[in-house]
Every structure is written in C-alpha cells, then in structure tokens.
Chain A
Amino acid sequence: MSLRAKTAVYGLLCVLALPFLFPTWWMVTSSVKPLSEVFAFPPTLFPSSVSFQAYRDVFTLQPFAQQYFNSMYIALAVTVGTLAVSSLAGYAFARIRFPGANVLFLVILTGLLIPSEVTIVPLFQMFHSWGMIDTHWPLILVPILGAPSVLATFIMRQFFLALPGELEEAARMDGLGRFAIFSRIALPLARPALGAVAIFTFLHSWNLYLEPIVFLSTAEKFTLPQALTQFVDAYGGPMWNVQLSAASLTAIPVLVIFVIAQRQFIEGLAHTGLKG
C-alpha cells in the first residue's frame, strides 16, 4: 500500500474512533470534575482538580454495593445456567439421533422470533401469580430457559455438528454412557463455543433494563442499569456527576477485563457458530 493510502486509512480510522473513545473519556473525567466544571464552557478535556465526592454520593444515596452484587450474581447465574441448558440441548440436537429431534429443534428455534419484549405482559402476570414479583427469579429464569438461551443452543449445536465423531466412537467402545461422553469428551472440546456463549450471555443479562424495571420495585433489589437512572434530584433531574460516577463504576471493570482479554473475546465471538 502506498504511503498516501496508508495515511488516508489511518486518518479515517482515527476520526471514526472518536465517537467510540470520547464518551468513555468524558464519562470518567466528568465524574471527578468539581460540579461547577461539569457544564463549563469552553469544555475542559482534563479536570482542573479531582474530586471523588460524587463517588461517595453514589454509595450514600443508594445501596449501590448491594445493587452491584445483584447485577453480578444474576449475570453469573444466568451465564452458568444458560451454558448448562444450551450445551445439553445443543449436543443432543447435533449428536444424538432420536425420533422427533428435527421437529423439536425447529420448535425451539422459533423462540428466536419471540423476544421477551413480546411476552413481557403475560410474563409479568405469570410471575405475579407465583408470588415472584420484586424478586430476582424472573431475571434468572427467563433468560436461562426462555427465548434468550435459544441462540446459545443454536451456537452450541453448530459447534458440536462440526466436531469429528471418532473420539466419541472410541469412548462408546469403552462403554461410556451418553452423559459421560458429553461431559468428559464433548464439553472440554467445546471450550471456544462455551466461551463465546458465556460472554454474550453475561453481557445480555448485564444490560437488561426493561425486565428489571418491570419486575423490581425496591432499591435493595435493583440491578445496576436500573440503579443508574435513580440518581435524580428532588425535581427528577439527573444528578449528572453522581450518575457519571455510578456509570464509570459500572463500565470500567468490564472494560478493563475486555482490554486484557480482547483477543479471546473478539476472536471467540467471531469464529463461533454465528457465521452464516
């Protein structure tokens, strides 16, 4: 490539990178700016002095640590549950011949067309009748067993389909049962697919907003996305510096993990099942 073409590509990449990088920079720097500087004109790229008052407010205005824990444990439970359910089903659909397998697979796959936004009204009613409103059960059960895990099952099935069959045959000769073959042979080989499923399942749960605001009503039970919007003043206006501090606390740890493991993140997602 010529030098001119190279410069053009780099220039374009740098300009395009701005809306991806700037918001995070602005979030973190604004969260430590003194309140008077948050909306200063001209805007300051670097805070003139650093104050962590807003971070202290995050924890005094709401049970933020508890909410952080809620989001974490819900997302982890959903991830573990989804991995179990989807790897079992994906394995069976790819590897076990049983009557009706194709029909059942198609039936489950239609769940992709029925996002939980469509069924939120009856889901609310169902959990209401089970006495599970204002508990975390709907946020755990629906993603693991409902529509969101269908894509995971599909990805796992695609992966197991591509796995060579000889290893399993050998294990069968040794007299291993289906579950042993699945757990001792197939599952360890499926690590890349499990990784990709784990990442997008965790992020999906971590990002949920509609379901928490429909199902939860007490602050101690809130998840992070819901909690972030609750830092408002007496007039309902956002307390920007506190919201930005809470947003930073929510975003930065995941970002750091991502940057450290970006290769596994991106290549795992790219090369697993989601291809056409």
Chain B
Amino acid sequence: MTKKPFWTGRRRDHLAGYLFVAPQLLGSIVFVFVPLGLVFWYSLHEWNVLADTFDFVGAQNYQALADDPKLPGVLAATGLFSVGLVALNLSLALLLAVLLNQRLRGTIFFRTVFFSPVVVSLVAWTIVWGFLLQDNGGINGMLGAIGVDGPNWLRGETTAMVSVVVVQVVKNVGLNMVLFLAALQGVPANLYEAAKVDGAGRWRQFRTITVPLISPTILLTMIITVVGSLQIFAQIAVLTQGGPGTSTTVLVYYLYQQAFQFHHFGYGATLSVLLFAIVLVLTVVQWQLRKKWVFHES
C-alpha cells in the first residue's frame, strides 16, 4: 500500500482558495477591523496631541457627546441632508430612467448628459456650483435677467441645505438612473400589454407593475445612496464649511473638525463610533425591510 501524498488535489485547492483571498482578508483586518477596534479604544481616552498625553477616561467622551450643545444641530443637518438627498435622488433617477426608457430618438444623448457629472471630479463640480451659487453668481444673474431677485444661496440656512442636496443629486443621480434603466429593461413588455387590456392607465401601470418588479433594484440603490449620503464631506467643506451656523454641519464634517482641526482625537473617535452606529442601524433596518417590501428576489 502506498502512502497517499499530502498534497491531494483537494488540499491544493483549499490552499489556492486561502491564498487567493489572503490579500483582501489581511487588508480588511489591517485597514478595516483593527482601525474599527481602535476607534472604540480611542473613544475611551482623552488624547491631547500637543501635550502628547493619552489617558483612559472611561465613558467621559460619551458623556461629552450627550452634553454637546452642537450635536442636536449636527444630527439634524445629517438627517435632513440624507432624507433630502435620498428622496430627491431616487425619485429623479426613477423619473429620468422612465423617460429614457421610452422608445424615442436621442435617448442615448440625454443618457450621456445625465450621466456626465458622475465622471467630473467631485471638487471641480462643487467649485463650479459654488461659483454659480454666489450672491452675484451665475444663477442669481440669470434670475435677475428675468426680474427675479435670487437669495444668497449659501448664506441662508434653508437655501444652503437645499443647495448642497441639489448639487450632490445632480452630481450622482446618473448612477442610480443607469441602474434603474437596466432594471426597467428587464420588465417584460407583455405585462404592460395585459394591463392595457384591463384598462389600467399609465400611472397605475407604473405603480402596480413597474415599481414592484424593480423593487430589488430600488432597495439596493437606496442602501447604497443612504450609506453614501452619510459619507458626504467634500461638498460641505468646499461649499459651506458647515455653515451658516451649523446648518450644514453633517456628522463627517463635524468629525473632521473635531479630530483634525481642533485635535480632539478622543472625541473625534467617539463621533466615529456614532457614525458607525448610524450606518449599521440604517443598513440593518433597510435589509429587514427587504422581506416585507421587495416583491421578489432573483
């Protein structure tokens, strides 16, 4: 009886599997999970970079978080921005996708137009809009030319928030539009024919056929858009610096200010924990919604 060699085909395959995933796995450990652990660890410390002290303070940073007079404003701005962005982005993306899904000439041209801001450098895009939204800038100039006195967009609390949302929606709505368009093209045309025979109007067809059939895509884009909306930073930093007041100070911008402008690393880490908790809760909630709301899963 000969001894079976150790390196059987199966063992080789297992080794190949581990080696193939090793870079991603080790990378995730070093650049995702260890830093995540450190975020929690730092949040329990008072860290003074200038004096080079690092002292355990227990839950003190969390107490400071609960007592932070700015925090309600920051959370309100974060929530307003996310809700506004997700609502406007998804509804506009769906509208554009439905319009482009019609059998018309020139839809490729319009698809290119609506997608083009996606490939424009984010800060370049934001700078141009910042320029347009100046009190004496292009938008108010155009409004003035037709006799309308436009507001100073970036200096009013409401108009600043609206501006930031719109700038971001126009920048990225093309991505969701394209995903919706692909989903729409997968809806069988005979369903609409049948509905027409039953006398269903366009709006009714949209509600009872289109939306349920593309609901997996709606959910996926919603999750991506919600998480993306919580990561917003450059637009705020360039357009409003969180102002006026704290009306556009979203959580990531506040985190950046605390950690890298005021050097409160411990408190910055505490804000990171809060951000992580929000992302986690929102994603889990949406994932649960899937069971109730999504029509079918392919």
Where the two chains meet, the residues of A that have a C-beta atom closer than 8 Å to any C-beta of B are 1, 6, 9-10, 12-13, 16-17, 19-24, 26-27, 30, 39-43, 84-86, 88-89, 91-93, 96-99, 101, 104, 107-108, 111-115, 117-126, 141-142, 144-147, 149-150, 153, 177-179, 182, 203, 206-207, 209-210, 213-214, 224-226, 228-229, 238, 240, 243-244, 246-248, 250-251, 254-255, 257-259, 262-263, 265-266, 269-271, 274-276
- Chain A residues, Cβ within 8 Å of B255: 117, 120-121
Q: Nearest B residue to A40 by beta-carbon distance?
A: B141
Instruction: Flag if A117 contacts B116 (CB, 8 Å).
Output: no
Q: Which secondary structure dominates where chain A touches chain B?
A: helix
A41-B141, A262-B115, A275-B217 are contacts. A119–B36 as well, Cβ < 8 Å? yes
Return chain B residues, CB-CB under 8 Å to A248. 124
Residues in chain A near residue B26, CB distance under 8 A:
145
Cβ of B128 and Cβ of A210 under 8 Å apart?
A: no
Which chain B residues lie closer than 8 Å to A24 at the CB level? 116, 120, 128
Contact yes or no, B142 A43, CB < 8 A: yes
Cβ A17 vs Cβ B31 within 8 A: no
* Complex alpha-carbon distance, A228 and B110, angstroms: 29
Contacts of A6 in B (CB 8 A): 104
Inside 8 A of B58's CB, which chain A residues have their CB? none
Known: A115-B279, A224-B121, A254-B120. A153 touches B24 (CB 8 A): yes
Q: Which residues of A contact B20 (CB under 8 A)?
A: 88-89, 91-92, 96, 178, 182
Interface size on B, residues (CB 8 A): 98
Q: A16-B99, A119-B31, A207-B234 are in contact. List 12 more A-B contacts (CB 8 A).
A: A17-B113, A42-B145, A89-B21, A108-B25, A117-B272, A121-B259, A178-B20, A243-B131, A244-B127, A250-B123, A250-B124, A251-B124
Interface residues of B in 156-210 (CB under 8 A from A): 166, 170, 175, 178-179, 181-183
B119 in contact with A203 (CB, 8 Å):
yes
CA distance A100 to B135 in the complex (A): 59
- Judged by a CB distance under 8 angstroms, whether B252 is at the interface is yes
Are B178 and A269 in touch, CB under 8 angstroms?
A: yes
Are B121 and A254 within 8 A (Cβ)? yes
- The reply to whether B127 and A243 form a contact with Cβ atoms under 8 Å apart is yes
- Which residues from chain B contact A12 at a C-beta distance below 8 Å? 99
- Taking a contact as CB atoms under 8 Å apart, the answer to whether A117 and B231 are in contact is yes
Contacts of B283 in A (CB 8 A): 113
Q: Are B127 and A88 in contact (CB under 8 A)?
A: no
Interface on B for A, CB 8 Å cutoff? Answer: 12-14, 16-18, 20-21, 23-28, 30-36, 38-39, 42, 96, 99-100, 102-104, 106, 108, 110-125, 127-132, 134, 136-138, 141-142, 144-145, 166, 170, 175, 178-179, 181-183, 216-217, 219-220, 227, 230-231, 233-234, 237-238, 252, 255-256, 259-260, 265, 268-269, 272, 275-276, 279-280, 283, 294, 297-298
The 8 closest A-B pairs by CB, nearest first: A145-B27, A276-B216, A98-B17, A146-B31, A92-B20, A43-B141, A119-B35, A122-B38
**What number of A-B contacts does a CB cutoff of 8 Å give?**
311
B-side contacts of A210, CB under 8 Å: 233-234, 252, 256
* Chain A residues with CB under 8 A of B14: 96, 98-99
A residues within 8 A CB of B276? 113-114, 118
Q: How far is the CB of A183 from chain B (nearest CB, A)?
A: 11
Query: Which residues of chain A come closer than 8 Å to B30, judged between CB atoms?
Result: 145
Q: Is the pair B21, A126 in contact by a Cβ cutoff of 8 Å? A: no
- In the bound complex, CA of A91 to CA of B19 (Å): 11
For the complex formed, measure the closest distance between the CB of B10 and the CB atoms of chain A, giving whole angstroms: 9
Residues in B neighbouring A258, C-beta threshold 8 A? 112, 115-116, 119
Residue of A nearest to B186 (CB): A275
CB contacts (< 8 Å) of B113 on chain A: these are: 17, 20-21
Q: Is the CB–CB distance between B119 and A254 below 8 Å?
A: yes
User: How many whole Å from A240's CB to the nearest CB in chain B?
Assistant: 6
List the B side residues contacting A123 at CB < 8 Å. 31, 35
Is B31's CB under 8 angstroms from A147's CB? yes
Chain B residues with Cβ below 8 Å from A269 are 175, 178-179
Q: Is the CB of B279 within 8 A of A113?
A: yes
Most buried by A among B32, B99, B100: B32
Chain A residue numbers with a CB within 8 Å of B217 are: 275-276
What separation, in Å, do the CA atoms of A96 and B16 have in the docked complex?
A: 8
**A162–B21 CA distance with the chains assembled, in angstroms:** 19
Question: 10 interchain pairs (CB within 8 A)?
Answer: A13-B110, A98-B14, A107-B25, A122-B36, A122-B42, A145-B24, A147-B31, A244-B127, A270-B182, A276-B298
The reply to whether A274 and B27 contact each other, CB–CB distance below 8 Å, is no
Q: Which residues of the other chain, B, contact A96 by a CB distance below 8 angstroms? A: 13-14, 16-17, 20
